[in-house]
Amino acid sequence: MAEYELDCMGEACPIPLMKTEKKMETLVAGDVLVVHIDHSCAMKNVPEWARKQGFNVEVEEVDDGEWDVIIEK
Amino acid sequence: MSEPSTPIVRKRATASRKKKRNQIPFGFLVFALMIVVGILLSMRESALGMFWLFGGCFGFILQKSRFCFTASMRDPCITGSTSVTKAVLVAFALTSIGFTAIKYSAFAAGQTIPGQSYIMPISIATAVGGILFGIGMVIAGGCASGTLMRVGEGFTMQMLALLFFVIGSLWGAKDMGWWTEHFIAGAPRVFLPDVFGWLGAIVLQLLIIACLFVAADLWERKKMGTTEGE
């Protein structure tokens, strides 16, 4: 049940999604990954991808235009 | 996928967070300002006011829907997700019907069909330009409309993209005459209703879009093993 963080601030689509994909491969079931993003497009496609993979996903708006996508494998 | 009811347990609490500024007054201010500018523009020239109104609506819808032409072409390759692709195809189908209605009503009334000057010649330049634009938009993280929208959202990297987009467009416009003369001028211009008739053209176009839609759906099933809403 480890928690990892992934900093994707300032990264445009599709970098956050691809980084998340890579990072998720290294996680084991039950681990949580928190992805920090500030690109509105990633706020949509990262959760969408993760949900389609069957992961548990939550999105939190941390600040104006900054989000945390919390993914549980 | 069914939404699990239990929230994800996080080790770190997310309590240390800045209090958000209420943006609603700013929203009203900008809205009022837009109306004033719109009225001023339409007093100068009525078409300008309409452009302003359409531009504002277009930007609002684009931002809220997170509609992205780049994602529609890119996501199928990266993740296999085609939900945006399908949205773009639906939009194409709707605009096809709308434009056919506008053009046909003008044709039926015996008037000049509007927008015929936008029927562009098809040549190898179209394909090459498409590939170049595709590479550029994936690197820049957005197509023309997407870049503009994210500049409005305040995404710094895309302001840089917009700057070079403007430079590139200006350069392109400067040399367009030469390219037209040497590569494009001889290419055929096709207006589908001239070839297939009005009904044939719209039916054919919708059929092709429907085929692409089915293909996109199958692609997503194959690549992701699932699709939205299941």
Give the dihedral sign, CA B21/B22/B28/B31: positive
The 10s digit of each residue's pLDDT in B112-133 is: 888 888 888 888 888 898 899 8
CB contact under 8 A, A3 and B74: no
Residue B58: how many other CB atoms lie within 10 Å: 14
Tell how far CA B225 is from the center of its chain. 28
The 10s digit of each residue's pLDDT in A12-69 is: 778 888 888 888 888 888 888 899 988 877 888 888 888 888 888 888 888 777 888 8
- Beta strand ranges found along B14-170 (DSSP E): none
* Cis bond upstream, residue B188 (ω within 30): no
CB contact under 8 A, A64 and B20: yes
Which of A45, A56, A65 is closest, CB to CB, to B71? A45
Residue bearing tokens 């992961």: A55
Tell me if residue B126 falls in helix, strand or coil: helix
The percent of residues in chain B predicted with pLDDT above 70, rounded, is 89
Return the domain boundaries, chain B. Answer: 23-65
Q: What is the pLDDT of residue B20?
A: 67
This model of the complex carries an ipTM of 0.71
The 10s digit of each residue's pLDDT in B193-228 is: 888 888 999 999 999 999 999 999 998 888 876 544
B78 vs chain A: nearest CA distance in angstroms?
8
